[in-house]
């Protein structure tokens, strides 16, 4: 017998799945070893509801990773990477990503299994990032000789450092942090000429 096509979930089932995934992020970010029962309690659903929707703890974690990756992809697309001027796109994307990553920190730190939906989404995001950096180079914001793969790694590291936070950053909004990230990425710590 072939696999059945997945049927769309009813609205109430979709709400419970969303509640479970959001609860999983909150619970697992505090205690990565939390049980399905703890997640169910936080989601306000019966344990059997979780088991009906997710065959195993791993399938829940995979769904959590995919959901967070899709949120991140939406944040990148909302920055208009193909149409906004490169500097504007970099700033918008960075601020959006900082907001999403702070809300989905646990799920976005999970290593994406090769071949998974989350891995595919992260690969697409990586290609989009390179595309924006190519546009920035064409506009003279990035040196022509710059290694864009390295620059993307530096950008990701700056995002990560911004998310880990520092006491001096308390209360800094995503736009302020995005400005710092982009300024450091494009200018480093050297003197301005």
**Residue pointed to by tokens 């109430």:** 12
The larger pLDDT score, comparing residue 127 to residue 168, is at 127
Nearest to 63 by CA among 102, 23, 99, 93: 23
Q: Of the ranges 4-18, 20-34, 83-97, which one carries the lowest mean pLDDT score?
A: 4-18
The answer to whether residue 9 scores a pLDDT higher than 80 is no
Nearest to 162 by CA among 179, 147, 148, 144: 179
Question: Does residue 12 sit in helix, strand or coil?
Answer: helix
The answer to whether residue 191 scores a pLDDT higher than 90 is no
DSSP 8-state assignment for residue 10: P
Distance between CA atoms of 99 and 34, rounded to whole angstroms?
25
Distance between CA atoms of 161 and 179, rounded to whole angstroms?
14
Instruction: Give per-residue pLDDT as tens, 105-154.
Output: 889 888 888 999 999 999 999 999 999 999 999 999 999 999 999 999 99
Angle between helices 57-78 and 86-103 (to 10 degrees): 150
Q: How high is the pLDDT of residue 147?
A: 97
Nearest to 188 by CA among 144, 143, 136: 143
Q: What is the mean pLDDT of residues 168-172?
A: 70
DSSP E strand stretches across 107-179: none
């Amino acid at each position: 017998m072939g696999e059945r096509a997945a049927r769309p979930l009813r609205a109430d089932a979709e709400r419970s799945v969303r509640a479970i995934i959001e609860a999983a992020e909150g619970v697992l970010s505090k205690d990565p070893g939390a049980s399905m029962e703890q997640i169910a309690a936080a989601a306000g659903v019966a344990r059997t509801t979780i088991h009906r929707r997710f065959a195993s703890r791993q399938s829940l974690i995979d769904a959590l990773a995919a959901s967070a990756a899709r949120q991140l992809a939406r944040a990148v697309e909302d920055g208009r990477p193909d149409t906004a001027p490169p500097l504007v796109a970099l700033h918008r994307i960075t601020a959006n990503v900082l907001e999403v990553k702070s809300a989905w920190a646990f799920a976005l730190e999970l290593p994406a299994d090769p071949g998974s939906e989350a891995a595919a989404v992260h690969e697409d995001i990586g290609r989009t990032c390179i595309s924006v950096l190519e546009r920035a180079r064409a506009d003279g914001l990035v040196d022509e000789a710059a290694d864009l793969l390295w620059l993307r790694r530096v950008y990701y590291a700056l995002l990560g450092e911004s998310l880990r936070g520092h006491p001096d950053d308390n209360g800094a909004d995503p736009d302020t942090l995005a400005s710092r990230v982009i300024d450091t990425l494009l200018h480093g710590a050297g003197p301005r000429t």
